[in-house]
Amino acid sequence: MTLFMQLQGSLLASMRKLGAVVLFLGEILAQCPAAFTRPRLISAQVHNAGVLSLVIIMTSAFFVGMVIGLQGYDSLARLRQEDILGAGVALTLIKELGPVVTALLFAGRAGTALASEIGLMRATDQLAAMEVMAIDPIRRIVAPRFVGGAISVPLLTAVFNAIGILGAWFIGVYIMGVDGGAFWSQMQEYVDPSDIGEGVSKSIVFGIAASLIAVYEGYNCAPTAEGVGMATTRTVVTTSIAVLILDYMITAFLI
Amino acid sequence: MESSRPRELGTGLFVFLGFAALLFLATQTTDLDEYAGDEGYRVTARFEDVAGLKVRSQVTMSGVNIGRVESIKFDNDRLDAVVTLRINSQFNRIPDDSDASILTAGLLGSKYVGIGAGGADTYLAEGSELQITQSAVILEQLIGKFLFSKAEEGDSSASPAATE
Amino acid sequence: MKAALAADNLIEISGLRFSRGSRLIFDGLELAIPRGSITAIMGPSGTGKTTLLRMFTGQLKPDAGSVLVAGQEVPRLSRSDLYALRRRMGMLFQNSALLTDFSVFENVAFPVRENTDLPERLLRNLVLTKLQSVGLRGAANLMPSELSGGMSRRVAMARAMVLDPELLLYDEPFSGLDPISLGVVLRLIRLNNDALGLTSIVVSHDVAEISHIADHCFVISEGKVIASGRPDELADSESELVRQFMTGAVDGPVPFHYPAPDYRQQLLGSS
């Protein structure tokens, strides 16, 4: 009985949080037009969220690509189908791994940075001070960070996919000796523009979700050192769960 | 203010890199030309059974890809399937008495439409209909037929086989 | 009568009720703060002094009662009216609340840049003037992390004053300062108030310090104003609680011990 009650309680809590996050999104969106009048603030956040994540994204992408290349080659070689390695790798990356892994890496690198930055502003009364100075912190602080993150994730995903495919090409063609022509032509044969569309729409949704969760957790953290720490942890946990759930939902919807 | 210059450069390069990667994906991983817009002309063909054929399946002639399946609809009155094929415009001299059949790539591969050349002097154009069609071969029916005929064969030859 | 009062008082609060969770913080609080004065709001820790300041700025809304600031009912203001009213206020936070990514100069310039379109040259002069008045013009290019507690308090003061507000709110401006910084901050509060014709409200429990500069004091306890008057009047108050607070006696109406079962019983008769 208590287990049931606990379950019910945590379910209610998740629903409440979902509602709060969605309402927060509405608040941010209401301030977005004003934020767009100052593109410099947004470009600074694209720098913080995107450029600073580039190294981790590119490194991870190359190794993920190499692993898929190796595993894919090993499996396909058993079926004597090495030629479709390019197609397999590209579809795996573009449709699934690229958007998901990029969003998870983004949550770890940029999401935590966003949450702790805004959380620290909350803990040191900087947000309250802005309110008293007649400056809306959602417009001045939250909206540019949200937009910057939401712009960065699809771009990072595209970079991840491209580098990942190059990593798989390196292993498959250069090391394992798959025919380079077959690698690319089979890829072009089987990858549909709609697959790229699926990957891009996923990355857009993940970008919005990851940025939104990060700024929400930061903005609503308990104004203490402990609260900031908890906000960064929750950012990673919530984003990971949200991305995986959304991933399933989008896939089921688009397939 | 001076220190924001390298940062702006970095941001610009990042955005450029992102779009370059997207362009790379769009052009290198997929054959965009084949799907581009309304290029080419459309012809229709009626099949009794299109099982397994999908929109955007290949249309081939002599094994060369010449177009894609654009739509598959069911005709309520004639109770058959109407398949619209979009054929690339450079293949503009296909005789209009050619036949269309639904074939399978390999034993279990995907279905595609194969066009066999006819002998007429007039060519297919926008809106033509391929009159001679052959439906998809359904493996289950084939196996069923095969087993059935084997069984019949078995019946007639059962007693001599047993005495041997 | 009421209209005549409104002319003299910048802030009038009546019947203020506010609770956080199940805890009642204000229970029918009444308060009037005259223009041009320095008013101290005192009281034991946890009585909601900071909460009261946030009522003035509209960051918190009361459950009931009225909060009149400059003749406007703060809880009922629309968003844009509230922001317009806030441009006439400045607030100094307990931990200064300087923006960590900005230099001292940019911190002071921040409200001006965000709220006005002042040309860069005028802005520079304005910011340097304000920094000069708190004695930190030389520190304009330092980052907040390079400042001492007293210095960042002064930068925050310059920032709060930069738009020439009518009302300056100080939240615990003396906490954690060494005697020299404390003296400086005290002098600046008085000087600013008189030179700029401000109305200042200081929330503090540093009785001795605040008594030097306050024109008027309110003592808040258990959701109500329990005493008000000049600092020297309060020291001779009839109320035991006020006297305890003003003199800092260890035991009194506010007991030294948190409520607990009998000491001997708990030590001897356990389990």
- pTM here is 0.80
Give the residue from A220, A222, A245, A217 showing the smallest Cα distance to A233. A217
Question: In which band, very low, low, confident or very high, does the pLDDT at B2 lie, cut at 50, 70 and 90?
Answer: very low
CB contacts < 8 A (A, B): 79
CB-nearest partner of B21 from A50, A161, A189: A161
Q: What is the pLDDT of residues C7-36, one digit of tens each?
A: 578 888 888 888 888 888 888 888 889 888
| CB of A135 less than 8 A from some CB of C | yes
In chain B, residues with a C-beta closer than 8 Å to the C-beta of A196 are 25-26, 29-30
| CB of C153 less than 8 A from some CB of A | no
Token output for A120? 């620290």
**Residue A247 located in a structural domain:** yes
**In this predicted structure, what is the pLDDT of residue C6?**
45
Report the largest interatomic distance among the alpha carbons of chain A, rounded to a whole angstrom.
70
Query: Residue B44 in contact with residue B80, Cβ under 8 Å?
Result: no
Give the residue from C43, C40, C70, C42 showing the smallest Cα distance to C57. C70
The enclosing H or E element of C211 equals helix C207-213
Question: Which of B7, B9, B30 is the mutation pick for testing A, counting most A CBs within 10 A?
Answer: B30
In chain A, residues with a C-beta closer than 8 Å to the C-beta of B7 are 44, 47, 51
Each domain of chain C, given as residue ranges in start order, spans 2-249
**Residue A26 located in a structural domain:** no
Query: Residue B64 in contact with residue B94, Cβ under 8 Å?
Result: no
Give the residue from A41, A71, A83, A219 showing the smallest Cα distance to A138. A219
**Residue A212 located in a structural domain:** yes
Is B57 in a helix, a strand, or coil? coil
Q: Of all residues in chain C, what percent carry a pLDDT higher than 70? A: 97
Question: In which band, very low, low, confident or very high, does the pLDDT at A170 lie, cut at 50, 70 and 90?
Answer: very high
Chains that touch B (3 or more CB pairs under 8 A): A
| CB of A140 less than 8 A from some CB of C | yes
**Residue A15 located in a structural domain:** no
CATH number of the C2-249 domain: 3.40.50.300
- Between CA B85 and CA B127 the distance in angstroms is 10
Residue with tokens 């960065």: A152
**Residue A33 located in a structural domain:** no
Q: What is the pLDDT of residues A201-227, one digit of tens each?
A: 999 999 999 999 999 999 999 999 999
- Between CA A123 and CA A121 the distance in angstroms is 6
Non-local (6+) Cβ contacts of C176 within 8 A are C149
**Residue A59 located in a structural domain:** yes
Lowest mean pLDDT among B108-112, B145-149, C221-225: B108-112
In chain A, how many domains are there?
Answer: 1
User: What is the pLDDT averaged over residues A65-71?
Assistant: 95
Cα radius of gyration (chain B): 26
Per the structure, the complete domain to which residue A138 belongs is given by 40-254
| CB of C150 less than 8 A from some CB of A | no
**Residue A179 located in a structural domain:** yes
Token output for B135? 């439906």
- Between CA A202 and CA A69 the distance in angstroms is 23
Q: What is the pLDDT of residues C27-74, one digit of tens each?
A: 888 888 988 889 999 887 778 888 888 889 988 888 888 888 888 888
Query: Residue C222 in contact with residue C24, Cβ under 8 Å?
Result: no
In chain A, residues with a C-beta closer than 8 Å to the C-beta of C111 are 133-135
**In this predicted structure, what is the pLDDT of residue C261?**
83
Query: Residue C241 in contact with residue C222, Cβ under 8 Å?
Result: no
Beta pairing partners, C90 = C168
- Give yes or no for residue A151 having a pLDDT over 60: yes
**In this predicted structure, what is the pLDDT of residue C208?**
79
Residue of B nearest to A184 (CA): B29
**In this predicted structure, what is the pLDDT of residue B131?**
85
DSSP letter at B83 equals E
Q: How many CB atoms lie within 10 A of CB C178?
A: 11
ipTM above threshold 0.95: no
Phi, psi for A47 (deg, rounded to 5): -60, -50
Question: Which of A38, A42, A43, A79 is the mutation pick for testing B, counting most B CBs within 10 A?
Answer: A43
| CB of A134 less than 8 A from some CB of C | yes
**Residue A204 located in a structural domain:** yes
